[in-house]
Amino acid sequence: MPASGSNSAVAVWTILRKECRSEWRTRYGLNAALLFALASLTAVSFAAGRLGDRSDVLAALLWIVLLFATLSSLSHAFVREVEGRTMLLLRLVASPTEIATGKLLFNVLFLAVVEVFAVPLFLVFTGAPPVRWGPFLAVLGLGTIALAASSTLIGAVIAQTRGRGALFAGVSLPVLLPVLAAAVSGTRQMWSAHPVAPSLRLLAAYAVALLAASLLLYDHLWED
Amino acid sequence: MLLRLSLFVWISVAMVVALLKAPLVPVLLETTRVLYFHIPCAWIAVVALGWSMLHSILYLVKRDLRHDDHAAAAAGLGLLFCIAATVTGALWAKAMWGAYWNWDPRETSIFFVLLLYTAYLALRSSIQEEEKRARLSAVYSVIAFVAVPFLVFVVPRMYDSLHPDPIINRRGKVDMDPMIVLCFNAMLVGFTGLYFWMQSLRVRVSRLERRAHAA
């Protein structure tokens, strides 16, 4: 079905553009995430000093800063629609899977933008040892996709419950923990000159499994 | 009634034989006996969580609340057996490795599984409407079980762990005394029976609750 395939690609693209535009109008989520990243980076590097020789601690800190800087904004993709009462309208123009794929791509983009600012700052502030860019970017990229895939789906679940804000962290962190653990160990191996491949394989496998499961699940997320 | 009684007799006999008659493994010595509880608990935890996912998928396809009863009961029991496996494992670790908890890869991954299903129960308790609760927790249960194979089977084999290979080891065989294997298999069957009995009880209770609620 080439026609319907290109139709849903158009729908996904439209959703992605709509997300980018509504984020750009206020830049509320982006500003909050960047500010949080900057503040927590300052706090960490001020409290711990330069950690150039402790790459194990650095790897953990990097992912904790990235995770918490982006967590609240990632869940917001669907909460925004529910709070603005625009979910129903959105569902009239696109299928649940198209909406979710668009929002997932937006979340990947959002994470990437935050990382472009936060990662260089992190490397400078903490006096990190030189990175091997190939493995580092691979860990960052796969970690970003896995984080976005799981938090988009959990965000869609949480948006329909009542205690949204409080519940999101508690419910999404257990799903994100394997991602975080694999990404941290990959980053640590990158710095300690160990092979990164096992962690990359684990991250990639988990990301693919999450993506596949969430694409199957989105159609069942709302009542018919 | 007869089934329950035979289950009771089965587990009792297996337990007595395992504790009194089965020989000890050289290094493990007296702690060998934890094996008859620890591994069946871990096994049942995975079975129960898989059962929960199966009924979650069935619920999403058929939208029948009876599947939700099964999914919820199985997740609760899976969590219970997971805790039992963790506690028996911690006791065993204290005796063999010198500490109850050491963030060994297998300890870490079972901890993640515990967190996942605690979150599942937290999610359930935060939604009032029955249909919505069933739908959203079914989605969450499927996503949680995507992580379970990674945590239970992949991660502990990737990193250096003190924990011996789980039930199916790399060579696909068990190097143990036939008597131990017999007792272990009997306990495995007994625990599986116990689990499905508990499961049916919980499902019946939640059905009665719904009927009482509707009346």
For an interface test with B, give the residue of A104, A173, A177 to mutate (most B CBs within 10 A): A177
A61-82 mean pLDDT: 84
What's this model's pTM, rounded to 2 decimal places?
A: 0.88
Q: Is B70 part of any domain? A: yes
Q: Could you give the CA distance from residue B95 to residue A130 in angstroms, rounded to a whole number?
A: 43
ipTM of predicted complex: 0.87
How distant, in Å, are the alpha carbons of A114, A199, B7, B148 from that of A179? Answer: 18, 10, 41, 13
Is B6 part of any domain?
no
| B33-47 pLDDT tens trace | 888 889 899 999 999
Residues from chain A that touch B142, judged by Cβ atoms under 8 A, are: 213, 217
CA A152/CA A219 separation, integer angstroms? 14
Residue B77 resides in a domain: yes
Contact: B150, A171; criterion CB under 8 Å: no
Q: What is the mean pLDDT of residues A196-213?
A: 91
Within a domain: B52 = yes
Mean local confidence (pLDDT), B124-149: 91
CA distance A110 to A224: 30
Lowest-confidence segment of A75-79, A202-206, B171-175 by average pLDDT: B171-175
User: Is B169 among the domain residues?
Assistant: no
Contact B139 A153 (CB under 8 A): yes
Give the per-residue pLDDT at A3. Answer: 47
Rounded to the nearest integer, the mean pLDDT of chain A is 86
Q: Which residues of B touch A153 (CB under 8 A)?
A: 139, 143
Number of domains making up chain B? 1
- Residue from B183, B83, B70, B197 nearest B137 by CA: B70
Between chains, do A221 and B135 touch, taking CB under 8 Å as contact?
yes
CA-based R_g, chain B, Å: 19
Helix (H) or strand (E) holding B48: helix B35-62
Question: Distance (Å, rounded) from C-alpha A119 to C-alpha A115?
Answer: 5
Closest partner residue to A163 among B115, B126, B136, by Cβ?
B126
Task: Say if B104 falls within a structural domain.
Answer: yes
CB contact under 8 A, B154 and A170: no
Task: Give contacts of A209 with chain B, Cβ < 8 Å.
Answer: 146, 150
Q: What is the dihedral of CA A101, A103, A105, A106, to 10 degrees?
A: 170
Is pLDDT at A5 greater than 70 in this prediction? no
Query: Most A CBs within 10 Å: which of B126, B145, B151, B153, as the mutation test of the A interface?
Result: B126
pLDDT tens, residue by residue, A153-177: 888 888 888 777 778 888 888 999 8
By Cβ distance, the residue of B122, B142, B150 closest to A170 is: B122
Q: How far is CA B42 from CA A183, B37, B141, in A?
A: 27, 9, 18
Mean local confidence (pLDDT), B187-207:
93
Say yes or no to pLDDT of B166 above 70: no
Tokens of B162: 């003190």
Structure tokens at A99: 């909406």
Question: Residue B96 belongs to what domain range?
Answer: 38-162+174-214
Q: At what angle do helices A133-158 and A55-83 cross, to 10 degrees?
A: 30
Q: Residue B125: inside a domain, yes or no? A: yes
How close is the nearest chain B Cα to the Cα of A29, in Å? 25
Q: State how far residue B10 is from chain A, nearest Cα, in angstroms.
A: 37
In a domain, B13, yes or no: no
* Contact (Cβ atoms closer than 8 angstroms) between residue B55 and residue B209: no
